[in-house]
Structure formats: C-alpha cells, structure tokens
Chain A
Amino acid sequence: MDKTWNNKAWFLVLPVLVLVAFTAVIPLMTVVNYSVQDTFGNNVFTWAGTEWFEELLSSSRFWEAMVRNLIFSFIILAIEVPLGIFIALNMPKKGWGVPVCLVLMSLPLLIPWNVVGTIWQVFGRNDIGLLGYYLNAIGIDYNYVQDPFDAWVTIIIMDVWHWTSLVVLLCYAGLVSIPDAFYQAAKIDGASRWAVFRYIQLPKMQRVLLIAVLLRFMDSFMIYTEPFVVTGGGPGNSTTFLSIDLVKTALGQFDLGPAAAMSLVYFLIILLLSWVFYTVMTNYDAER
C-alpha cells in the first residue's frame, strides 16, 4: 500500500518541543556547561574539567547533606505511607462524610509550600507560637531554633501534616474502586479484618501505592522551601539538605561551577533512586 508522507505533523509537535527545550533541555545543558567550567564573573569562563565533581564527591559537607536527605525521606515514607493507608481505610465510603473528609484532606495540599513553612515557623515559636508556647508552658523544653532534634521533629511533623493527605487520597481512590462483592465474598469465606486488608485491599491499592511512594520519595528528597522557611538549614547545619546547600553555593556564594556539578549529581541520584523504587515495586508485582 502506498503511504503518503506528510511532514506537516511535525508542526503540530513543534510548540511542545520548543516549550520543553526552553524549560528543560536548554537549562539542563547550561548546567552541564557550567559544571565543567570556572568563572569569576563578567561572563569569563575557563575550562575546569572534572575538578568540581572531584571536589564535590570528596567533600564531607556534601555527603552529610546527602545522609540527612536519605534519613529524612526514609522517616517521611515510614510515617506517611502507613498513616495514609490507615486514614484511608477509616474514611467513610458513602454518605455526607465523604465530601467533608475529602475537603479536609485536600486542605493542606492546597496551601503553597512557603505558606506551610511560615505557618509552622510561627506555630512552633516559643514566644508567640501556640505549639511552642504551650509545650514550654507544660514543661517540655522545646526550641527548634537551638535544638537540632527539635528542628527535625518540627520539620517531620510539618511534612507529615502537609503531605499525608496525598497518600490518603490516592489510597482512598484505590479502596473505593473495590466492588462490594469482594467484601461479601470475604465475609462468606470467614476472612478476618486483617485477611481482608492483606488479600483484598492491599493488592487493590498496590498501583496507587507505587505512585504515592514515588511521589513522596521524590518530593521529600528534593525538599527545600519548608525547612528553608522554618529553620533556614539550622541550627548549625543540622537541617541543611542538599537543595538548601545547593542554593547556598549557587546564589549565596555565586559558585556556579560547583553548584552546577552538585545539581547534576543530585539529579542523577534522584533519577537512580526513583528507578530503583519503581523496578523493585513493579517486579514485586510481577513476581506475585
């Protein structure tokens, strides 16, 4: 059969290509470009080769921030995923409670990230914050500005408050798609509450859980705004995550070369870990 070639189709794809080029490809290439050069301003660049990468990978500051990121993401996932599933399981499935719960759950997600940071920054203050003031009033020594542990607890609770809803909504969507017949059959088979969860609800939620874990991992690994607003990376360097470190290097010290090298490494790490998560969870799925 004769096939007519019509290259006009390319014009239809062109706007997207241009858009992606300007928003993603060109900036990424610029970063690659910076990462192998040195500059002292005035748009004068000199070739630096792999110097910045070598420096970065041997700097303890970078690895410390990285470990903080990993610990943070691990804690966040360990709290938000089980908590999200638990809340989703207990949300009403029909009646007037459904819209009420859905709206309540969506509220934290609708608040801009810097506002969330500001809310908790004020909330936790010892002088005027409700939380900080009353914790100290009942004798708990809480001060996120001075105590690294308190700073971590504050940021983790804030993130849980902010993002558990996302896990809840995704799991809830998975749960309501299970036909009643499954629960009825389970009753007839004499299944316990745990067996219903293990053999009906969890398998049906698996796909949305994969998405939830991936999203929460990527977001928590890239966290910037909230800790920046609440603690500014302190006290000391105790809440300085990779992203905060990166911004300090790039904008604070205007070290474009090292900052670019760091961005690339950061990007590759997220890519790698997301790929690992994805592969592990989908393989697990296929294996069963």
Chain B
Amino acid sequence: MARIDVNHVRHSYLPNPQKDADFALREVHHTFEDGGAYALLGPSGCGKTTLLNIISGLLHPSHGRLLFNGKDVTNLSTQERNIAQVFQFPVIYDTMTVYDNLAFPLRNRGVPEADVDRKVRETLEMIDLASWARKKARGLTADQKQKISLGRGLVRSDVNAILFDEPLTVIDPHMKWVLRSQLKQLHRRFGYTMVYVTHDQTEALTFADQVVVMYDGGIVQIGTPAELFERPRHTFVGYFIGSPGMNVMPVAIDGKTATLGSQRIELPGAPKASGAVELGIRPEYVRLGREGMAVSISKVEDLGRHKVVRAKLEGRDIAAVIGEDETVPAEPKVRFDPAGINIYADSWRVEMGA
C-alpha cells in the first residue's frame, strides 16, 4: 500500500502537443493518501481513464512525475509498480479454473506453490468464491468474473494500490449494490489505497471518502461528497453532481444584493465577483411557497420520495425539490435559502465575503 503523488502530470496522445486542447490530461497535481478510497468522477472523455492508466503504468505521461511513497516510479513498468487494476469488462483467463486464475499473478512472479495455495484460499474467502474454486472460470456470471478480476489484484498482498476502471458497467443493478458494499468492506478491513473511476455520481459518492471531479482534462474539485454537494467549486460540479443538478443563473452583484432580471435577491455576504457572474443554488434550497419571486410551473415530477418542480423564473428554467406531501400553491413563488447560495465568477466559485 502506498501514498501516490501525481506531480504536475500532463498527457497527450498526440506526438507533438502544442496547445492546451491537444492534451487529454491538462495538468494534474494531486496526492492520493495511503489507504484512501478515491473516486475519479467525470463525463466521458474528461481524462479520468487516462489518469488511471498513468497511475497503473499502462500509459507513460508526456510530462510530470509519479511517486509511490516518495519513490519515483514514472519510468517503471506496470509490473514493477505492483498495482492491481480492474477493468470495465471482466478479464478472466477462461481456460483456467477460478483457483488457477487467482494463482496466475503469483505463479508468474515465481511464488512457491505452498504460499500460492495459502494466498489463493484467503482471497477466495475474501471475495466469497471459495465454493467455486475448482470450476472453470468461463461459466461464471459477470459479477463473479469481475470478482475474479479483483481477486487477482487482492491475492498479491503487497499491491501498492487497487485501481478500478468503471468496474460495474456490465453488472446487473442489484448486484452493483452488493459488489459496491463488498468493496467498501474490503477497504475498511484491509486498508488498500483504492482509486475508482466512474461517471456515475451515486457510485462515486457511496464508494469514496474523497471524490475527485474531473472535467475537460483537469481536476475541478476534490472533496467529500458533502463538500461537492454544498459548495461546488465550479459550475460543472454543480450540474454534474446532484439530481437534478444545480440551478445556475446569470446575475449582477451589488454589495449584498444580487439582481436577476427584475428580481432582487439578498445574499448572506458581499462577494467580490467580476467577469461573468452567476448565482448557483441547488433545487434542495429553492423554497416554493406564497412569498418571494413569482414563477410559472411547467411540470411536476413525482419521484416517490420527493417531487421535482420544473418552473420558469424570469424566463429561465429552474428546478425545486419539495416534499412528497407538499403541494404547489395556486400563485407559486420561490425564495432562495441563503445557506444554499453560491456565487460564481467565470464559472469558478468566489467566497461570499462579509
């Protein structure tokens, strides 16, 4: 297990990258702490898999360095880095038994057969496949195969980190939940450093202590699920996390007041914002009632646990979340809960100020 330092890493798939747009990974500088559970979250093409493959050594970065426990591993091969990786589609050696699949990485490294046997049996217990040991791996279900992929990483006790590249994509929904909680358990019991790539926010938020949100080849925010929810550093994080995403609307700021069309919104502080200024508020902090700013309702979606109200405020779409038992008043108006207001200048969050 190791602390992983990603030092100013940039990567381009082109031979001669010139401008920023040529880079799949613009610049990442971050430390993954030893024993941490991290999720790399972002839309397709944001560079999260590139970053993962750079950590595992399947890719060598165009610029920057990578340290495991302070030791430079930038030029080491995947094998020398001693990491485990689970891919989107289960990779199993289908002519081998489950047991031999797990023994494979150890036998390749010349581990004595007695140790192989002990480790494989331990791992089979960990991934709950002990009764399948002698079965051919090809006959298993997708989630069992994915567990074998994971097991081939766990079987090496000295792995520096376990990396997951959207590992639950081909798993049935109810098994996803089971596998995810098993992963959490493994993490708690054995303290592996885990990095988990996904574009599914639920997966990321439930799996990780720290979620790294990536957008357009760079990291836009790193934080706990609560931080990402309450204080998105970038409007992208606001949109991407939460369902529905954050309401973002252009405003003009004057002291402690924001002006949205003909409406005036009192702010908890006086932010110093210049450039394109926007106000962001999560639907959970939009209060629907008889006072405030007038809106016209376009749709109410009943999700069972709560309702999502789609409305227009000053000609802009806005979403609000209300309780399952609440009703929409005849002349609906909205207020913004000051605790949920964030101000953005050129898409980046600015502090509220005093």
Report A's interface with B, CB cutoff 8 A: 179, 181-182, 184-185, 187-192, 195, 199-200, 203, 288
Contact = CB atoms under 8 A, between A and B. Distances in A.
Contacts of A181: 87-89, 91
Given A179-B89, A199-B93, A189 B152 contact: yes
Nearest to B56: A188
A179 B87 CA distance: 11
A157 B157 CA distance: 53
B79 A187 contact: yes
B107 to A, nearest CB: 9
18 contacts: A181-B91, A184-B78, A184-B85, A184-B91, A185-B85, A187-B58, A188-B78, A188-B83, A188-B84, A188-B105, A188-B153, A189-B104, A190-B105, A191-B104, A191-B108, A195-B108, A199-B96, A199-B104
A203 B93 CA distance: 9
A187 B59 CA distance: 12
Contacts of B109: 190
Given A184-B91, A188-B56, A189-B105, 8 more contacts: A181-B91, A184-B78, A187-B77, A188-B84, A188-B85, A190-B108, A199-B93, A203-B95
Interface of B: 56, 58, 77-79, 83-85, 87-89, 91, 93-96, 104-105, 108-109, 136, 149, 152-153
A253 B152 CA distance: 69
B300 to A, nearest CB: 44
A179 B89 CA distance: 9
Nearest to A181: B87
Contacts of A188: 56, 78-79, 83-85, 105, 153
A188 B80 CA distance: 9
A185 B149 contact: yes
A184 B108 contact: no
Nearest to B58: A184
Q: Is the interface of A mostly helix, strand, loop or mixed?
A: helix
Contact of B95 (A184, A190, A191, A199): A199
Contact of A192 (B87, B95, B108, B153): B108
B148 to A, nearest CB: 11
A-B interface, 8 closest residue pairs, ranked by CB to CB distance from nearest: A185-B91, A190-B108, A181-B87, A189-B105, A199-B93, A187-B78, A190-B79, A203-B95
Given A184-B85, A188-B56, A288 B95 contact: yes
Nearest to B138: A288
B230 to A, nearest CB: 37
A225 B154 CA distance: 59
A73 B109 CA distance: 41
B233 to A, nearest CB: 33
Contacts of A190: 79, 105, 108-109
B156 to A, nearest CB: 9
B91 A182 contact: yes
Nearest to B104: A189
A210 to B, nearest CB: 15
Contacts of B58: 184, 187
A112 B283 CA distance: 73
Nearest to A203: B95
Interface hub of A181, A190, A191, A195 (most chain B Cβ within 10 A) = A190
A232 B35 CA distance: 77
Nearest to A200: B93
B217 to A, nearest CB: 21
A285 to B, nearest CB: 10
Nearest to B155: A189
Contact of A184 (B87, B94, B104, B136): B87
A87 B78 CA distance: 27
A207 B84 CA distance: 31
B108 A189 contact: yes
A168 to B, nearest CB: 23
A190 to B, nearest CB: 4
Contacts of B89: 179, 181
Interface hub of B84, B91, B109 (most chain A Cβ within 10 A) = B91
A184 B108 CA distance: 15
Contacts of A179: 89
A186 to B, nearest CB: 8
Nearest to B87: A181
B97 to A, nearest CB: 10
A160 B88 CA distance: 41
Given A179-B89, A187-B58, A189-B152, A203 B94 contact: yes
Nearest to A288: B95
B87 A185 contact: yes
A203 B136 CA distance: 13
B204 to A, nearest CB: 21
Contacts of A288: 95, 136
A32 to B, nearest CB: 44
A154 B24 CA distance: 55
A58 to B, nearest CB: 47
Nearest to B108: A190
A255 B77 CA distance: 71
B50 to A, nearest CB: 13
A191 to B, nearest CB: 5
